[in-house]
């Protein structure tokens, strides 16, 4: 079995039990530094900062993932599409299409708790 990072109770609630953090409370909601967003549970690279945008929804939003990093699965509610880390299966949030917020017409609505960030080093 793969060894993953130790999660606190809130991280377990969201990542393992498919919870949701309260809107506008996540540390990455209004965060726009240059770098890579990684899975909090397994450290797999998920999103590059150039795909992040301000959607006003209260959670970090991305219009594209790193190829192969995010898996889409039908949500238990039968209406939405859940997104999980393709490496460890940790819950990230939900993906929405057709909202026309970006040219890619996609919004990954991600819990900050599900993410860590690695800043890009200046050359």
- H helix and E strand count, the chain: 1, 9
Q: Cα(47)–Cα(72) distance, rounded to whole angstroms?
A: 15
- Per DSSP, the three-state class of 69 is coil
Of 39, 42, 85, 109, the active-site residue reads 109
Q: Cα(58)–Cα(55) distance, rounded to whole angstroms?
A: 8
- Per DSSP, the three-state class of 120 is coil
Known catalytic residue: 109?
yes
Residues annotated as catalytic are 109
């Amino acid at each position: 079995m793969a060894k993953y990072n130790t999660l606190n109770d809130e991280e377990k609630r969201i990542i393992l039990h498919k919870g949701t953090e309260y809107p506008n409370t996540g540390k990455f909601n209004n965060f726009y530094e240059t770098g890579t967003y990684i899975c909090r549970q397994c450290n797999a690279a998920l999103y590059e900062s150039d795909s992040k945008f301000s959607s006003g929804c209260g959670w970090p939003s991305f219009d594209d993932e790193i190829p192969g990093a995010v898996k889409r699965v039908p949500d238990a509610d039968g209406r939405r599409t859940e997104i999980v880390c393709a490496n460890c299966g940790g819950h990230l949030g939900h993906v929405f299409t057709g909202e026309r917020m970006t040219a890619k017409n996609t919004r990954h609505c991600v819990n900050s708790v599900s993410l860590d960030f690695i800043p890009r080093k200046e050359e």
